[in-house]
A = this chain, B = another copy of it.
Amino acid sequence: MVDDLTLVFSALADPTRRAILARLAEGDATVNQLAEPFAMTQQAVSKHLKVLEHARLISRTRTAQSRPCVLEPVRLDAAADWIARHRQVWADRHDRLAAHLATLRAKPRGGRAAR
């Protein structure tokens, strides 16, 4: 079974799908409305929407005739959180390293070593 984060990052790994998400961030849209700016067939757009839906980055109303696509930001948050968490671990490590180097500079080992 593929985990959620892998589904989300896979879905984001395509410029057309990212453009569709960018469009949906600005407002809900139907498949027809999404197909227009991309000069793509409805079928091609539908394939991309299925990937986005599977990753739960978007949802589609089942009841309305037009079935507009809606961005679901929760999964985007999960992806951003993963990146931010590891970015932070990296930054903390570099802060500790900088602090350690500052300590070394502040306390020279004296004598012949500190020319």
Contacts and interface: CB of A to CB of B under 8 A. Distances in A.
Given A71-B90, A73-B87, A9 B9 contact: yes
Interface string A1-38: 00101100110111100100110011100000000000
A100 interface: no
Interface stretch (A59-67, A78-86, A105-113): A78-86
A80 B89 contact: no
Interface residues of A, number: 30
Given A73-B90, A80-B84, A83-B76, A15 B26 contact: no
Contacts of A83: 12, 76, 79-80, 83
B21 A14 contact: no
A13 B9 CA distance: 5
B25 A86 contact: yes
A54 B110 CA distance: 46
Interface of A: 3, 5-6, 9-10, 12-15, 18, 21-22, 25-27, 71, 73, 76-77, 79-80, 82-84, 86-87, 89-91, 93
